[in-house]
Structure formats: C-alpha cells, structure tokens
Amino acid sequence: MNGMQLPEELPLEDFIALPDTIPLIVRDGSLGTEAFRQSFNIRKGTGLDGNYSIDYVNRSEVDAITAEIGSDVVNMFPIVLGLLDQQNLTAAGIMQVQRHPYLDLRGQGTLIGFVDTGIDYTKDTFQYEDGTSKIKYIWDQTIRGNAPQGFYFGTEYQEEQINSALRAENPWAVVPHRDTVGHGTFLASVAAGRENDEYIGAAPDAEIIAVKLKKAGAFHYEQFLVPEWQEDAYTSSDLMLGIQYIVNKADELGRPVVICVAAGSNFGGHNGFSPAEEFLTTISSINGVAIVCAAGNESQERHHTNGRLTSSGESQNVEISVGERSEDLYLSLWNGAADRIAVSITSPTGEIIPKMPARSGARYTANLILERSRVTMEYYLPLRASGEQFTRIKIIQPTPGIWTITVHGEIVLSGEYHFWMPLTGFIDPDTIFLSPTPNYTVVIPATATGVITCGAYDSRNNSLYSDSSWGPTRLPTVALHLVAPGVNVGGIFPTGQGQMSGTSVSAAITAGACALMMQWGIVDDNETSLSTERIKAYLIRGCVRDMLTEYPNDQWGYGKLNLYNTLNIMGPGIS
C-alpha cells in the first residue's frame, strides 16, 4: 500500500475515526474471545461493568460476523437513540427540602452526570459566586484530541481547563466544547443550576459531569432508516461509554453520583434484555450510584400496537397508514420464546408478499411490480438471554396509503406479539398504526429493570402530561415508577431562559431529588448504602397518591414525586 498503514494497523483512536468503522457491543466470555476478534479484525475498545466491551470493526465484516453468530448479531450492533423532548420544584417537594432549617440539603458533596448534547459551561447557572465552574469534567465525544484514560475517542476537559476558559476573553478558544442543541444544558440547569433571583435547580450545590454524545455514523443511519435530516441520532454504545465514564470519575472523586438519561429508542424488545438495558441494570446496583431514565413521550404517537394469537395456524392483520411525505419505514415485531410467528405483507395497491416461513437468520427481499417500494423481512430467533423472536421489516419508499402486515402463528402457546415504529422524530408524523395501543410505550433503556423510570405530569392542574409514555414492559413489570413535573418547566438554554415539556425534564427534576437523597444518606452519613434500588424504594413510598386511583398503574406508576414526604419516611421527625 505504498507505505500506508492498513486500517487494522492504525492506532485505535485513528481506526475509530474512519468513516467505515462501526462499534460493536461484545459480551466478554462468550463471543468476546481473542480468537473471535482476530477472525474478523475486531479491535478491542473500552471494557464496561457487566462484562461488556465496546469494540470496533470495519463495516465490510458485518455480513461475515452475521453469518458466524446468527441471531445474536441483533444484540451486538448498537441501536439508535434520540432525544426525548424538545412552580415545579415545590410540587415535587424539593423546595421544601432546600429551605428546611435543619436538613440543609442542596446536593453538597454529590455529582450529577448527564449523557446528552453537552453543556454550555459559560452560563452563570453553572458557576459559583467567585466565577469558578461547578462542572468537574466534560467529555466531548465529537472533538478529536485528548481522550479520557481508558477511552479511545473524543476530548476530556477537566475543571482546571474549564476555569481557565471562563477567565479568558474568548472561552471557546480554550475549551471549544459547545452544546449546539441545548437539550443537555437545559436538563443540567433544571437538575443542578445555581440560584439567581428568578431560578434555582433541584440540587444547586451538586457538581456536574457532562458527556456530549457524538452523532451516529452512516452505518446506523442506513441500518435503522434514520432520516437524513435528523441530526440528533446517537448510538447505545456511546451512551454506555458515557455512563461508564461518569461512574469512573465519580469513583475517582469518591463521591455519590446520579446519572440522568434522557435519550431513548423504540429499536428493541422493551423487556430489559438488550445490552444497554442489562448494562444499566448492572450499574444501578453499585452503591452510591443512581440511574434516572426518562420514560419517553410516546403514548399518543400511535407508534405501538399489540395483539394475541390464540392458536397455531391463526392469522391477524395489523394495518399501517403511511403518509404522503413518508420516507423509508422501519418496523419491529417481537414475540416470546414459546411462539414462532411469520409475516406476509399487502401493499396499498393490493400487491401481496406471501408468507415467508420464520427461520433463524432468514432474509427475504421483494421489489413490488406495480409500485416502486422494496420490502425486506428478516427473522432472528431465538435471541440470547430471552430466547424470543425478533422480526425486522423494512419498506423502502413505501407507497402512501394502507399497508397490511399479516402475522401468522406457526407455533402458538402464548400468542402475544408487539409492533413498534421508530421514535418520534425518526418517522413521518402521518405514518401510524390504525389500531394503536398506548401501553408498552416506555422507551429503551428506561425499560431496564434496575433504573428509576420517570413519567411527566402537569403540576399546575395535577393532570398527566398527555404524551408521557405508559407501561408496562413485556416482562411484564412495572415500567413506570413515578411521575414528576414535566410541563412548561423553566430552565436555561444556551440562548437564555426558556421552558421545556416532557419526560426529559421530569427525569432531570427526579435526578436532582436523588442527589439530595445521596447527600442526606451518604455525604451526611445517615444511610451510606444508598443505590438506585434503595432510592427508588424510598421515592415510591413518599409519592403522593390520589384517593380514588389504584396504584401502581401504567400511567402514574406509584404516584407523584414528593421528596419531602420521602425524607419524612426515611428520617421520622424531619417535619
């Protein structure tokens, strides 16, 4: 190659930066052996808690890897995530705690981590009175440079560099990190913003670790049919790396940490068995760590439907209305380990793609004769850990009108099946299921079993936020643990003060509440064994519940967050 290095000979950071390099989520001890890596020129990356590692490979190896490992490839390739949102602290019982004369809980000694769009570190709300920053670290995954130790891309900015930038005439010349979207900045201000005349975050004395996610690459845009205009698409592997980074830094600092996750996806089984969900469950068990996930805003978007076959040989139709402006369509069909389900498809003009038997690894492609659409069906079964079946349907250039997906029960014991379309923002809003169900709309990774999953409500009138996702998961378990204020919540954008609605905001408020609990329990030495599950239990017990409503339920979980009630339960006599 005329002296040029082969891709596999490049330093790992340079290999990751190549446009044809893609990430893999590898579980060490199974596929994650050196022999397997060498067979496909896989470069080992960062090891994660829970025996996972994020490795890297050239996309030309994808077909060979798929042929080698079969259905398990579904869990090896990261899924695509999107952002979940575009007088509340009093309703959540936080202001009462901040102002209590004996508690003095403002998040001192704790950390809150955000894996999001970054943070505008120049905002006053992230600075102390002396002009220094309350941000301990920023890992910008989008800027090549000084990567964090043990990680192989992006640039880490430490507190000293951020303070130097704040003293400079041009801060961006010293620390060029920017939050161009504003989502991460807003959530950080809600959870941990310093007090001014008009505004205060839930845990104003908590310090911050911020991770800016890098945009998903071309492979993932193609694999998941993400519209080209959608800029805010990220991968679950980079989310996992961001969470591991925050946990590592908290451990180095010797402080408890709360991690706010406000990105999500419909690409998965919604039952806790994907690598991202399993990883979060592992992290949530660590003492001094709490994971708070936004439930999503999908309940009214008509992106989910489900049904039940009663016997082998039975068929049922699922109808989809495709809008006039619709681009390519991605559909996920999931069913349990006891069943085997095949599909056939009828286009709006009546062209039929006949039933293709459900066989592991089978892939069928058909070009319609009377329409320009191309349809691909892929079967993956049984999957690792769950044994379930995943069927992927892609319709390229779908003809507007009514498409019918017919599910055929080849083997039926349970008979339950679920369809999901992509997340809002990843699909044309006029493309919907004609018979949708709002249940099972909590997004991944909020469906992980170990996290605190938070929906949203309007604290002004005590009504549920209309789009807040509903449980349960497919396990089934209670997917939604509580709701917090999430309508017209005030915060700080890079452009100044503003408002946001949705479960991202309610998750940020809940994360701030968890930081206050971490201070009370671990920093103040009242209960040093706090973890996600213990905090979850305390928050659930302190929730405000309506007399005429049965709890838990799929819309409200165990009720409305009220930290003051929780602390009264944790420490009798606080009031």
Percentage, residues of the chain above pLDDT 90:
81
In a domain, 47, yes or no: yes
pLDDT in tens, 4-49: 555 667 999 999 999 999 999 998 766 657 788 888 999 999 999 9
Distance CA 118, CA 139 (A): 8
Answer whether 95's CB lies under 8 Å from 103's CB: no
pLDDT of residue 507: 97
Asked whether the predicted pLDDT for residue 167 surpasses 50, the reply is yes
294 and 312 housed in the same domain = no
End-to-end CA distance of the chain: 75
Q: Are 469 and 439 in contact (CB under 8 A)?
A: no
Residue 364, number of CB atoms within 10 A of its CB: 14
185 and 292 both lie in a single domain: yes
pLDDT at residue 198 is higher than 60: yes
Report if residue 126 sits inside a domain.
yes
Give the tens place of pLDDT for each residue, 224-277. Answer: 999 999 999 999 999 999 999 999 999 999 999 999 999 999 999 999 999 999
Same-domain check for residues 341 and 315: yes
Q: Is residue 167 part of a domain?
A: no
226 lies in the same domain as 375: no
Residue 538, domain CATH: 3.40.50.200
Number of domains in the chain: 3
Looking at the domain assignment, is residue 108 inside a domain?
Answer: yes
Q: How confident is the model at residue 91 (pLDDT cuts 50, 70, 90)?
A: low
Cβ-contact 506, 484 below 8 angstroms: yes
- DSSP assignment, residue 32? B
What Cα–Cα distance (Å) separates residue 462 from each residue in 91, 214, 485, 487? 9, 37, 9, 11
Q: Are residues 288 and 398 in the same domain?
A: no
Predicted confidence (pLDDT) at residue 105 exceeds the cutoff of 90: no
Whether the pLDDT of residue 175 is over 50: the answer is yes
- Which of 30-39, 62-71, 514-523 reaches the highest mean pLDDT? 514-523
Question: Which band of pLDDT confidence, cut at 50, 70 and 90, is reported for residue 87?
Answer: very low
The residue type at 355? K
Q: Sheet containing 43-48: which strands, arranged edge to edge? A: 21-27, 52-58, 43-48
Same domain, 205 and 267: yes
Q: How far apart are CA 234 and CA 116, in angstroms?
A: 9
pLDDT at residue 108, rounded to an integer: 95
519 and 547 fall within a common domain: yes
Over residues 472-503, the pLDDT tens digits come to 999 878 889 999 999 999 999 999 999 999 99
| Contact (Cβ atoms closer than 8 angstroms) between residue 457 and residue 465 | yes
Q: Which residues contact 38 (CB under 8 A, 6 or more apart)?
A: none
Q: What is the tens place of the pLDDT at every residue in 123-162? A: 999 999 999 999 999 999 999 999 999 999 999 999 999 9
Q: Identify whether the C-beta of residue 513 lies closer than 8 Å to the C-beta of residue 92.
A: yes
Interatomic CA distance for residues 343 and 406, integer angstroms: 5
User: DSSP of 555-569, one letter per residue?
Assistant: TTBT-B--HHHHHHH
pLDDT at res. 4: 53
Give me 138's structure tokens: 């920023």
The answer to whether the Cα torsion of 260, 262, 267, 269 is positive or negative is positive
Using CA atoms, how far apart are residues 224 and 263, in angstroms rounded to an integer?
16
Number of Cβ within 10 Å of residue 123's Cβ equals: 18
- The size of the chain, in residues, is 575
Q: SS3 letters for 389-451?
A: EEEEEEEECCCCEEEEEEEEEEECCCCEEEEECCCCCCCCCCCEECCCCCCCCCCECCCCCCC
| 6, burial (CB in 10 Å: exposed 0-12, middle 13-18, buried 19+) | exposed
Say if residue 478 is in the same domain as residue 547.
Answer: yes
Candidate from 28-32, 189-193, 380-384, 530-534 with smallest mean pLDDT = 28-32
Q: For the whole model, what pTM was predicted?
A: 0.95
- DSSP tag of 546: -
Average pLDDT over every residue of 60-68: 90
Which phi-psi region, left, alpha or beta, contains residue 279 (left: φ > 0; alpha: ψ -120 to 50)? alpha
Rounded CA separation 313/315 (Å): 7
More confident residue, 29 or 510: 510
CB atoms within 10 A of CB 436: 18
In a domain, 154, yes or no: no
DSSP string covering 303-322, please? -EEEEE--STT-EEEEEEEE
Torsion region of 313: left, alpha or beta (phi above 0 gives left; psi -120 to 50 gives alpha): left
Q: Are residues 251 and 139 in the same domain?
A: yes
Q: Are residues 212 and 351 in the same domain?
A: no
Secondary element (H or E) of residue 131: none
Report yes or no on 188 lying in a domain: yes
| Contact (Cβ atoms closer than 8 angstroms) between residue 426 and residue 216 | no
User: Which among 33, 52, 77 is the end of a domain?
Assistant: 77
Q: CA separation (Å) from 116 to 110, 202, 407, 559?
A: 19, 18, 38, 27
Residue 171 within any structural domain of the chain: no
Least confident of 71-75, 262-266, 571-575: 571-575
Check whether residue 381 and residue 232 sit in a common domain: no
pLDDT at site 196: 76
Q: Look at residue 97 in the predicted model and tell me its pLDDT.
A: 62
The token duo for 410 is 């080849």
Name the domain boundary from 51, 77, 103: 77
Q: Are residues 289 and 336 in the same domain?
A: no
Residue 60 falls in which region: left (phi positive, over 0), alpha (psi -120 to 50) or beta? alpha
The total of other beta-carbon atoms located within 10 Å of residue 562's CB is 23
pLDDT surpassing 50 at residue 575: no
SS3 content of the chain, % helix, strand, coil (to 5): 25, 30, 45
Percentage of the chain lying above the pLDDT 70 cut: 93
State the pLDDT at residue 187.
Answer: 96
Comparing CA positions, the residue from 392, 454, 388 lying closest to residue 421 is 392
Range of the domain at 29: 7-77
Q: Answer with the residue of higher pLDDT: 574 or 510.
A: 510
Looking at residue 98, its pLDDT comes to 56
pLDDT in tens, 408-449: 999 999 999 999 999 999 999 999 999 999 999 999 999 999
CATH number of the domain to which 360 belongs: 2.60.120.1290
Question: What whole-number distance in Å separates Cα of residue 139 and Cα of residue 210?
Answer: 6
- Torsion angles phi and psi, residue 458, rounded to 5: -95, 110
- The CB density around residue 176, as the number of other CB atoms within 10 Å, is 13
Asked, for residue 173, whether it belongs to a domain, the answer is no
Confidence of residue 386 (pLDDT cuts 50, 70, 90): confident
- Single out the residue in 77, 106, 138 at which a domain terminates: 77
